[in-house]
């Protein structure tokens, strides 16, 4: 099985930076690729900040923090990922850019490099089909915030071979995650359930004329959720949720999958949640 010594992460947004943080904390040399040096530095700053908070809270030693940050290099050149044993893609949730990237990664990386996508709701099989070696393409779907959420779904696409699949599973476990194996179906396991569930919650806003605050309170206090649905879509990103819901609706044609119009309107108005400073709530709260 491919031994994972060096990992590449493409895209250092909320998910990619979280995944890179997990890798360096697990002792793995990590190369993060962003489109500009400034974005790479900003991600390094966020990772450094979260690791510093762990030191302040006494869950990480200062030396371990510094060593972890030292394992991260950032680059704007995809070619710098050539020596990686595993590359995890966490770029924009659109099929075409992902397919272009995977074709490029296939050209740049060794034939035994495992190529993983963190896609939420796109087809891993369709991404893999952009390469001539789809057997080494796998889904590694982390949850937001990646450093805190225990799960990673290891997704077997139509042509994924056993060895890269098991290498991805073992690596997810090495990152300290609870890994589950599943097949490449729309939404995999969690999003297949969570997206229509969140859509239902948001439709209740209008149906029951309940405020966002009260809906969140109700789901925390009445269903034991750690966060209310409005807080959660603000965290995930309203654009990300709408896109995932549209992708599931396109594939499954179930009305509950379609994003509620209120959410589409918010996305169109630039109310994207935490990352834009405003969603259901203003941020910082
Ligand atoms: N990266 C790293 N560290 C982070 C972080 C991040 N993105 N965000 C927060 N932290 C750290 C911070 O240091 C923070 O501490 P600080 O505020 O003192 O600095 C600490 O983690 C937060 O710790 P808390 O003890 O306050 O955490 P909570 O107990 O409040 O739990 C939570 C936070 C784990 C997010 C919890 O509220 C939760 O489980 N929420 C539900 C999240 C969820 O359902 N996510 C899945 C979304 S669906 C998805 O991702 C699928 C995708 O495909 C769309």
pLDDT of 275 reads 95
pLDDT of 52 reads 98
pLDDT of 1 reads 73
What pLDDT, in 10s, does the model give residues 250-279?
999 999 999 999 999 999 999 999 999 999
Task: Measure 268 CA to ligand 1 centroid, in angstroms.
Answer: 26
State how beta strands 137-142 and 151-156 pair: antiparallel
Question: Which residue ranges of the chain lie beneath pLDDT 50?
Answer: none
Quick one: tokens of 81? 């990922």
Q: How remote is the C-alpha of 159 from its chain's centroid?
A: 22
Whole-number Å distance between alpha carbons of 47 and 17: 7
Residue found under tokens 């060794």: 110
Enumerate residues lining ligand 1, CB below 6 A: 18, 50, 53, 120, 143-145, 147-149, 191, 194, 226-227, 232, 236, 240, 244
Quick one: tokens of 125? 């099989």
Whole-number Å distance between alpha carbons of 180 and 225: 21
pLDDT of 2 reads 72
Could you tell which of 90, 148, 274 is best to mutate to test the pocket of ligand 1, judged by most ligand atoms within 8 Å of the CB? 148
What pLDDT, in 10s, does the model give residues 209-243?
999 999 999 999 999 999 999 999 999 999 999 99
Query: Annotated active-site positions, please?
Result: 120, 141, 153, 191
Residue found under tokens 């924009």: 92
Task: Measure 12 CA to ligand 1 centroid, in angstroms.
Answer: 17
């Amino acid at each position: 099985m491919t031994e994972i010594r060096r990992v590449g992460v493409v895209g250092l947004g909320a998910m990619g930076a979280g995944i890179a943080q997990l890798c360096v904390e697990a002792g793995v040399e990590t190369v993060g690729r962003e489109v500009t040096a400034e974005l790479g530095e900003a991600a390094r700053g966020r990772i450094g900040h979260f690791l510093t908070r762990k030191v302040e809270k006494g869950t990480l030693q200062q030396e371990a923090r510094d060593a972890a940050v030292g394992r991260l290099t950032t680059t704007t050149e995809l070619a710098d990922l050539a020596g990686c044993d595993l590359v995890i893609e966490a770029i924009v949730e659109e099929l075409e850019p992902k397919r272009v990237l995977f074709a490029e990664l296939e050209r740049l990386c060794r034939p035994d490099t495992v190529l993983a996508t963190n896609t939420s709701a796109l087809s891993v099989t369709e991404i893999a089909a952009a390469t001539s070696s789809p057997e080494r393409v796998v889904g590694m779907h982390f949850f937001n915030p990646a450093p805190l959420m225990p799960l990673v779904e290891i997704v077997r696409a139509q042509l994924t071979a056993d060895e890269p699949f098991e290498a991805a599973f073992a690596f997810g476990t090495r990152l300290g995650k609870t890994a589950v194996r599943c097949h490449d179906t729309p939404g995999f396991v969690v999003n297949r359930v969570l997206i229509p569930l969140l859509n239902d919650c948001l439709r209740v806003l209008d149906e029951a004329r309940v405020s966002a605050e009260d809906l969140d309170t109700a789901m925390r206090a009445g269903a034991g959720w750690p966060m209310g649905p409005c807080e959660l879509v603000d965290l995930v990103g309203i654009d990300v949720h709408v896109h995932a819901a549209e992708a599931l609706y396109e594939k499954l044609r179930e009305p509950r999958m379609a994003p509620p119009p209120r959410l589409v309107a918010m996305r169109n108005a630039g109310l994207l949640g935490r990352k834009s400073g405003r969603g259901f709530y203003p941020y910082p709260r």
